[in-house]
Amino acid sequence: MRDAVHRPQRVLVTGGAGFIGSNLARRWLVQQPALVVVNVDLLTYAADRGHVADLPADRHQLIEADICDTNRMAQLLRDHAIDTVVHLAAESHVDRSIDGPGAFIQTNVVGTSSLLQAARTVWLDEGRMAAWAAQGRSVRFHHVSTDEVYGDLSATDPAFTETTPYAPSSPYSASKAASDHLVRAWSRTYGLPVTLSNCSNNYGPRQHGEKLIPTVIRKCLDREAIPVYGTGENVRDWLYVDDHCDAIWHIVRHGANGETYNVGGLNEWTNLALVHQMCRAVAVETGVAGQTLIDLITFVTDRPGHDRRYAIDPSKLTALGWSPDRSLDNGLQLTVQWYLARWRDGALGAHTRIGLGR
């Protein structure tokens, strides 16, 4: 039986000056004209104030704060009468997790437990949830995670479902798996109202330059070698960021308390095929011959423990009424146009870091 619909009024978004968070705040504020978003971000290397600088000041506030500061998070929940937390803040780059796992444990595990404890204190222990219930107002903690917690698949394995056993391969995915378990524990032990989502690879505007798609776009524009791990046969399921934001809204509103929903684009591509497709997309927007850009592809030493394939079965979520809207061609076109405009005016800023992505 489906739980009653949750109606967010005042939302705390963590990591909201990063890639997914900034797109989510922007999209939700446009689509929900009465919504207020309080945006918490530590403003580390992957965040950018400029991503949210033009959002309406009467309905959006960016606060520089550390999610590991439990007392500060609890005070923000009180001061802003927050009824919904969307927890996006995370260290997310696999290569960085291999080189320095400690930061991933701190942000992804300790930070999540801090937020959960803050929500428990304010909503449950201080009685705010019960008081609001009498007014017909509910609370919800939504935790955004990754398909990487499930490990990898062979070419013929069925796609991940919500009951696929966890088998994380990297310090990044292990830290996200741990955070997922914490959210479920706070739900079962303390009765905190939660939902979770595990999503496939996102792409779109405002993604940091260390990720695969921004890296390829930049290399094409600068006519530099395009690095591809191994033979490029690793498979990922790609989802345009706005479709992910819509999926989160749908889960927050309609998802059953305590449930997990997989979010995927039904869009499996090998890394090499995707890079070819991106070269063609850049060629269309710049007038450069596609083969000229494809010839820039260079194969580099594979990442340690590189997962072979990710694939998501989103049928549990599509049964609630959500489905992705953007095709890969259309999503790549919008993404290339966004980066191209900033490359032309020299405004890529922090998004020029070289990387290979997930």
User: Which carries the bigger pLDDT value, residue 210 or residue 83?
Assistant: 83
Count structural domains, the chain. Answer: 1
Is residue 148 assigned to a domain? yes
**Phi, psi (deg, nearest 5) at residue 277:** -65, -40
pLDDT in tens, 252-265: 999 999 999 999 99
Q: What is the C-alpha to C-alpha distance for residues 146 and 179, in angstroms, rounded to an integer? A: 11
pLDDT in tens, 226-249: 999 999 999 999 999 999 999 999
pLDDT in tens, 148-194: 999 999 999 999 999 999 999 999 999 999 999 999 999 999 999 99
Q: Are 90 and 107 in contact (CB under 8 A)?
A: yes
Is residue 2 assigned to a domain? no
Is residue 282 assigned to a domain? no
State pTM to two decimals. 0.94
Looking at the DSSP assignment, which residues form a beta bridge with residue 143?
A: 87, 196
The domain that contains 76 carries what CATH number? 3.40.50.720
pLDDT of residue 92: 82
Distances (CA, A) of 272 to 213, 291, 299: 12, 14, 10
pLDDT of residue 353: 38
Region 141-145 average pLDDT: 98
Is residue 125 assigned to a domain? yes
Q: What is the 3-state secondary structure (H, E, C) of 297-354?
A: EEEECCCCCCCCECCECCHHHHCCCCCCCCCHHHHHHHHHHHHHHHHHCCCCHHHHCC
Is residue 68 assigned to a domain? yes
148 is catalytic: yes
Is residue 234 assigned to a domain? no
pLDDT of residue 210: 87
Q: Which domain holds residue 84?
A: 10-206+240-266+307-325
**Residue 195 belongs to what H/E stretch?**
strand 194-199
% of the chain at pLDDT higher than 90:
90
- Tell me whether strands 201-203 and 10-14 are parallel, antiparallel or unpaired: unpaired
243 is catalytic: no
- Considering 41, 48, 91, 147, which one is annotated as catalytic? 147
Is residue 355 assigned to a domain? no
Q: Are 279 and 298 in contact (CB under 8 A)?
A: no
- Considering 41, 83, 148, 210, which one is annotated as catalytic? 148
- Number of H helices and E strands in the chain, helices first, is 13, 12
- Considering 150, 172, 240, 261, which one is annotated as catalytic? 172
Q: Of the candidates 186, 24, 62, 171, which has an alpha carbon nearest to the alpha carbon of residue 112?
A: 186
Is residue 341 assigned to a domain? no
DSSP class of 237: E
